[in-house]
Structure 1
């Protein structure tokens, strides 16, 4: 059986270097006219964060500046730059639009909006923006580099080269102009001329890692593998944590027959970028060539886990399973590849072989006939070549796409979009007691949303302990020992004051903190029994019931999973995707709370989370919308709504919500934007 090799990336990266422009803009716009002190302060802080690559903090500070002075263009422009740097191109475009609305004469608005539009493949509109930028700033060489780069994407190589030449006339030291001109010449198969341009870029700046990387990739294409390795190692001296350098050095070493060196480089790629499916795929091929079938299958498991719709991952895993004698597993994997791509003739032939080994002669014969029928439709092409007929199809591109951005998962704090984050809904809100310790109280208070009803209670004489809303993952810094001490005192107080519902609320909160969910639930029940209009007790009781239901669901699954082994474990994992937890009891309690507080957005948010986990996505979205309408700055609602829309595969609607969540402070939104909102 034949393994399908897949060494390349979808398309070579183009290089845009904007950092020096950021610096010039930060200096040029450092002086504002008269404005509120707060605006100047937060704008200055936002600019400083932007310059230091701390983009999420920059957005927070610039958002404050915008709120204080919404008619100034500078905060919108700089926030657009920060969003652009985080890969939130749609959000950046929105900010540049606002900046242009306020100041239509500032050329950099158009330049950066054009860059963002190019990133989301709005090429025609991007070219118009570049023209507008050139009209307002004709001596800016970087605009010509940007426009040339967009023309490269459109395969208009001569026009692109003309723009790069203009940039060089305006700025003979513009290394990016030479570098991208080299790429344009490479696309025209003018290898030696391309090499000359890249060498010029290196002479201008011998510390430009991108230039050595590009030259190494060009030499790889020219089959000068030793020279390519030399360039990749020069680039590593400038940045030894860039995974793509190790990947291409590994490929070069493989071409030279250095298997151990290739293994070492692929291992380094995966240490830096643990979800790089292309590297797992290539390493699996090496392992299968060495007859390490167990290791190859392990790597291919990662490929299909990361890219479940990748036909080559399923197909090759089927081949390796066949080679190792696991014919049933091979049949399943070939079937999956066929389901994803029904014209995959080679997969039918391979499945035929697996079925024959399983004594399924009828199924084997049927697969051979199907493979022949497909070949006839494609003029008798070799069966493994038929997928290449679809190579320009967008839908087929998704079927062969590998997660291979080659970004360091240990990126600096500012580059949150490159980090590996666990994707899950932001948790429910819960009523909690704030600490009596002044320092802890202030710290906890910072993490709370303002709730009028709680604020009024906190100021009343009833408030033996201050209360505030908080996320469950942030709430209550009391240690278990301290919680137990307070709980004992509160229970003693019940004897002298048994009819105060707040006492039961406090006891419920403390029991919840200690993990005593049953006791907490009973305390909340007593609170609402004493006061049926006690909405906050209903809220916490619903959360406890939800937590209990979730624990029962997880325990139920774990008990079933213990009997699963080998390929059966894959089936068991798939089954869990269709087992929907039941949170109806908790939802009913939220409904009661909403009758008391119909305008409390957090209740709709909590209920939406339960609907989402029950896969009742439309009800969840409706509740998230209601929560947002009542609490416009509820970042968690935007984030969870965006995540729910992603589950519905409505990325277009999801991405603006994720952008707003990031703008309001949920930095992990930018990781989702990078994964699902950027066309690749």
Structure 2
């Protein structure tokens, strides 16, 4: 439930502060928050709070940033402050309630939501999360009463029926649970989450064939949700379709590379089909995240035995037996491994322990009951061969917060690769680590006129505290250099870049424009001015609640961006990232033919340009040209963009 109220609540009106500098800092903080730079956002809100501690909104927005960083105690403290200043601010109760739910403080969360309803009795998110709090506190009568009110206020709000189904299931009323999910489907048959919930319910009822059909619909409509593939893998497993199950775990891990269930269960299935080395890799990952997972440790020991790594297997088995000293299979397999290592004394000791355990059967651990799956919390080591499933069977847990994610992503399930920028910091992908290159940028780095190496990337990295502090220091240093050499383009461009990275977009635009005045052939300034303007417009659109139409001023602004990118292409016709960004802007403006033309040109210049293939493929899919789209996505996947494959799988059936 981490994706929270952020997107909607960022649309709250900006209030006027007494001093223009305070207002600008507040805007910078909200911009950083919108672009998910949470640590940076907190720094800006700190400045406003220090200057004007009597304002409630800085506390509120800082609490949102802390919520995204899982600092739930900090959220409560900020919410307490803002509600002391303004006890009528409903969003403050909402955010504090969310933080309390995350800490299992359901009684306190209920009080927050009830207080909020005094001021806004038909607030859908508040009713939603009040219902959730009642469910988690097992007060099912109040949950049903609140959900009935939610359905009255918002008759087409499908999440209410999913939660009603969840309550029915907890009360062992399967027929009512099915009826509620079917009601949700009658309202919106294109919601992947509803199909996923029905598939999950059928899984729980062991209706595996029907579960797979439901989850087929869920993955087709919502190919970006790893949970749908995880659940369909279980449905396929129970129908002895091991290859299909492993394929689904592959797709789930393409979407969520750190998914525990994907790695653990895929490791078990790979072991079953003899894919030993890759099974070991899966359990290596599980143990890198949780070194104390003894069942994963034991499974890895078995696989190491199979691969001939007897020393590693012995180490794994010994770790398990230290925790489970009565584990019969542990001694049995370790005895064999010790024999292979020539440790006859150790093997004899294990053999004696096995004989003793056969005599004294009462010392044994509870035996396996024969089910094919186990709950994640199950610590019975005898169940090491079983696939693992989530502890809770609630069917609403993924669908109870309709405000997660950015506004522009709520109706777009297939997201294009983002714009390219120049920066010092880039996020490192676990799957691909491509170094984007252009000779001019390389030469600029070689001259060592910039404080850090300049990178070309479309994977912006959220800044940590050290990086934030460093950038603010660099801004001060560059300001001093500009005072000394006002006609030097480099310090002006560098300060603009630093302002851009700390979300001070207006200042960045001013510096980039001044750099262009100083040297109208310095194309990086045009390029970064275009990116900064796009970012500014993106934030402004969220503030103005624009969805389908652009204001006249925005149209003019986008023309300015286009002109800057056109100038970059004139100055550096081999700089493929200008073609890519112009195509990406055409994409956003829904000028698909122009976008395809620019992506095609970028690919001509750089035939291994994965992001261009990916975005061109998405456009073809949007236009109904599935054959061309799948071909482009296949190439993007080959070049390392893993999400390509889940999209291909989703749309291949309509090819």
Which band: TM-score by shorter chain? 0.5 to 0.7
CA contact (8 A) 2:56 2:82 kept: yes
SS of corresponding position for 1:71: coil
Change in 2 beyond 3 A, CA 1:45/1:182? farther
**Deviation digits for residues 114-151 of structure 1, max 9, x if unmatched?**
11111122333323323333344433343232122123
Which residue, 363, 376, 384 being the options, matches 2:362? 376
Q: Match for residue 290 of structure 1?
A: 273
Q: Does 1:364 align with 2:345?
A: no
CA contact (8 A) 1:331 1:355 kept: yes
Q: Match for residue 83 of structure 2?
A: 100
Q: Match for residue 508 of structure 2?
A: none
Q: Does 1:122 align with 2:108?
A: no
Change in 2 beyond 3 A, CA 1:175/1:384? closer
Q: Match for residue 165 of structure 1?
A: 148
**Unaligned residue ranges in structure 1 (runs of 5+):** 1-14, 423-433, 462-466, 475-680
Quote the Cα distance in structure 2 between the aligned partners of 1:324 and 1:459.
63
**Deviation digits for residues 597-621 of structure 1, max 9, x if unmatched?**
xxxxxxxxxxxxxxxxxxxxxxxxx
Q: Match for residue 270 of structure 1?
A: 253
Quote the Cα distance in structure 2 between the aligned partners of 1:225 and 1:112.
39
Larger C-alpha radius of gyration, 1 or 2?
A: 1
Quote the Cα distance in structure 2 between the aligned partners of 1:289 and 1:41.
60
Q: Match for residue 153 of structure 1?
A: 136
Change in 2 beyond 3 A, CA 1:245/1:388? closer
CA contact (8 A) 1:55 1:86 kept: yes
Pairwise mapping of residues 440-459 of structure 1 onto structure 2 (< 5 A)? 447-448=470-471
Q: Does 1:189 align with 2:175?
A: no
CA contact (8 A) 1:246 1:265 kept: yes
Q: Match for residue 566 of structure 2?
A: none
Quote the Cα distance in structure 1 between the aligned partners of 2:79 and 2:44.
17
Pairwise mapping of residues 199-238 of structure 1 onto structure 2 (< 5 A)? 199-238=182-221
Quote the Cα distance in structure 2 between the aligned partners of 1:44 and 1:458.
27
Change in 2 beyond 3 A, CA 1:198/1:60? farther
Quote the Cα distance in structure 1 between the aligned partners of 2:277 and 2:93.
54
Change in 2 beyond 3 A, CA 1:122/1:167? same
Q: Match for residue 523 of structure 2?
A: none
Quote the Cα distance in structure 1 between the aligned partners of 2:30 and 2:215.
34
Change in 2 beyond 3 A, CA 1:98/1:205? farther
CA contact (8 A) 1:141 1:166 kept: no
Change in 2 beyond 3 A, CA 1:40/1:333? same
Quote the Cα distance in structure 1 between the aligned partners of 2:161 and 2:376.
34
**1:314 Cα offset (Å):** 0.9
Q: Match for residue 314 of structure 2?
A: 331
Pairwise mapping of residues 308-319 of structure 1 onto structure 2 (< 5 A)? 308-319=291-302
Quote the Cα distance in structure 1 between the aligned partners of 2:240 and 2:353.
37
**1:72 Cα offset (Å):** 1.0
Quote the Cα distance in structure 2 between the aligned partners of 1:446 and 1:347.
52
Q: Match for residue 538 of structure 2?
A: none
Q: Match for residue 139 of structure 1?
A: 122
**1:212 Cα offset (Å):** 2.4
CA contact (8 A) 1:352 1:367 kept: no
Quote the Cα distance in structure 1 between the aligned partners of 2:331 and 2:368.
9
Quote the Cα distance in structure 2 between the aligned partners of 1:308 and 1:36.
53
Q: Does 1:281 align with 2:281?
A: no
**Unaligned residue ranges in structure 2 (runs of 5+):** 391-396, 399-404, 406-412, 420-424, 432-444, 455-466, 485-490, 499-655
Quote the Cα distance in structure 2 between the aligned partners of 1:31 and 1:51.
14
Q: Match for residue 78 of structure 1?
A: 61
The number of aligned residues is: 429
TM-score by length of 2: 0.54
Quote the Cα distance in structure 2 between the aligned partners of 1:445 and 1:32.
26
CA contact (8 A) 1:71 1:102 kept: yes
Quote the Cα distance in structure 1 between the aligned partners of 2:263 and 2:468.
46
TM-score by length of 1: 0.52
Quote the Cα distance in structure 1 between the aligned partners of 2:369 and 2:92.
49
Q: Does 1:247 align with 2:226?
A: no
**1:88 Cα offset (Å):** 3.5
